[in-house]
Amino acid sequence: MIELDDVRKDYAGGVQALAGVSVLIRRGELVGIVGPSGSGKSTMLHALGTLDRPTSGTVRVAGHEVGRLSDARLSALRSRYVGFVFQHFHLAAGRSAVDNVADGLLYTGQRIGERRRRAALALERVGLGHRMRHRPHELSGGEKQRVAIARATAGDPPLLLADEPTGALDSAAGAGVMALLRGLNRDGTTVVVITHDHDIADSLPRRIRLRDGRIVDDER
């Protein structure tokens, strides 16, 4: 599904966020990427999700070499293959749950009716069929994250990248979100969870540990 080969990412001032990372994540895997703040987790997420081009090295997503693609083709690849879930939800305050999810399908070219139909199905799948018309301020933290997951998966991407998906939640809501991610993985989605929580990482079948921009452990 994803391959990084000797990927490096440098920033101004001599900061090296990734220092030669090589990793292969196969279709259908459930993987945790764990490390302390400043270890390079977010930079690795950006490389995995094609949000940022590396300084050097090769990134492949579903067999496509990212460095060879124009920005337009890269955007098309991302919209087809990758769904993103972030810690702070990023929901539009004035939009209902169903419209927040439907807005995630804007670049598919589908009409609004079809986007809303698919959004409703995605919300049903995450257990929020009864909350479709509610706006973010009417939802709990766990419900907001479920809306964010529905938005990320409404287009049925084969890869889901979750960046600290439980970081803003209490333990019960966080456990519910992790159960949902495991269910998506059982249904065939490749899921990568970025976390600083070792308990969450240790509960996953594969853990990749980062420190100072390098992989220090990769265990199953």
Give this prediction's pTM. 0.90
Query: According to the model, what pLDDT value does residue 167 have?
Result: 85
> How many structural domains is the chain composed of?
1
Altogether, the residues listed in the chain come to a count of 220
Confidence of residue 179 (pLDDT cuts 50, 70, 90): very high
**Containing domain of residue 132, as a range?**
2-219
Query: According to the model, what pLDDT value does residue 83 have?
Result: 93
pLDDT averaged over every residue in the chain: 92
Cβ atoms of 210 and 34 within 8 Å: the answer is: yes
Tokens at residue 46, please? 């950006």
CATH number at residue 14: 3.40.50.300
User: For the segment 46-57, what is each residue's pLDDT rounded down to a tens digit?
Assistant: 999 999 899 999
Concatenate the DSSP letters of all residues of 70-128 into one string: -HHHHHHHHHHHEEEE-TT----TTS-HHHHHHHTTGGGT--HHHHHHHHHHHHHHTT-
Q: Flag whether pLDDT at 142 surpasses 80.
A: yes
User: For the segment 123-135, what is each residue's pLDDT rounded down to a tens digit?
Assistant: 998 999 999 999 9
114: part of which helix (H) or strand (E)?
helix 112-125
Tokens at residue 171, please? 């333990």
Tokens at residue 160, please? 């889901």
Confidence of residue 211 (pLDDT cuts 50, 70, 90): very high
Tokens at residue 14, please? 């001599």
